[in-house]
Amino acid sequence: MKQLMFVLMIGALLLAGCGGGSSGSNPTADAGTGTGTDPGTGADPGTDPGTGADPGTDPGTGASGSALDCLNPQLLAAGTTFQTTTRTVDDEETTVLTSTATVMGDDFFNGQSVTRVSVAVTGDEEFTADHFMRIQDGSAGLTYGAEMTLGDFVTTIVNDPYALERFDLSAGQSYSHSYTSTVTYTDTASMTELMMIKSEIQTETTYVGRETITVEAGTFDTCRFDETMTIQVVGFPVPNTVNGTTWIGVGNGLQIMSMDDEEDIELLSASINGTPVTGN
């Protein structure tokens, strides 16, 4: 399952640069399917911050500023290539992975017009993945799904209507979103569907404000997002709740660090189109 978790982490990283960012290691948490003009809160993402929070409120990070400053549209521009090396630590192991992502351009997934990003992962684990997403109103990222290939096995993730990440927020503002995520595991050698898991997911996300953090990759000014995700797997009586925090780099749009109830992920190094991202 670690490979699938990393697929979703990469999806979050991609959204961080194009309209959102979140973490969370649940296998159905960060991929989605969607259309329409509503990014999922029932309100125009450009006019309603989601909760009616005072846009001038600074919750105490010592700095404020729009989360849009942590949006980097270049990360979804056709032809862009970016590479990240991350270290993931959980209760069982430490994993170091390098991912090379290439933006392939326009595509279709589950009947939707999307941007396809292909990712090759090397290091402690090796696999490939495709992510399907688009930007709405220049400030909301809608993820339509993901497909991961590991040998003869393919994992496909489709969410309904879509996973939502928003950056049109001032410090202290929040939004909520709910969707259904379906994960299918297939043996391509025999064309056999091995397993399908469907989950109902509810997220509550707050843009806390600006924070400066130091990781192995350097010292970065970041946008901090706190999120509570509740996952109800269909057929299971008790939901699972994951609380996490993600820090997205100002200007570069990369996920610098994330921490949740299950694992911590730290950026060790990164580059965008061959140019190193080194922090302040």
Which residue is it, tokens 């990240």? 84
Q: Check: CB of residue 213 under 8 Å from CB of residue 266.
A: no
Helix (H) or strand (E) segment spanning residue 200? strand 192-215
Residue 8 has a pLDDT of 44
Residue 137 has a pLDDT of 86
Residue 199 has a pLDDT of 95
Residue 73 has a pLDDT of 86
Helix (H) or strand (E) segment spanning residue 25? none
Pairwise CA distance, residues 10 & 225, whole Å:
17
Pairwise CA distance, residues 274 & 270, whole Å:
9
Residue 22 has a pLDDT of 37
Phi first, then psi, for residue 12 (nearest 5°) are: -65, -40
Instruction: Say how many C-beta atoms besides its own lie within 10 A of residue 225's C-beta.
Output: 28
* Residues comprising the chain, all counted: 280
Pairwise CA distance, residues 39 & 177, whole Å:
9
Residue 27 has a pLDDT of 33
- 45 upstream amide cis, omega within 30 of 0: no
Give the per-residue SS3 of 41-62. CCCCCCCCCCCCCCCCCCCCCC
Give the per-residue SS3 of 230-280. EEEECCCCCCEEEEEEEEEECCCCCEEEEEECCEEEEEEEEEECCEECCCC
Number of H helices, E strands in the chain: 1, 13
Which residue is it, tokens 């008790």? 238
Dihedral of CA 100/103/109/112: which sign?
A: positive
Share of the chain above pLDDT 90, in %: 61
Give me the residues of the chain with pLDDT under 70, please. Answer: 1-64
Pairwise CA distance, residues 230 & 93, whole Å:
25
Pairwise CA distance, residues 88 & 83, whole Å:
16
Residue 5 has a pLDDT of 39
Domain ranges of the chain: 2-276
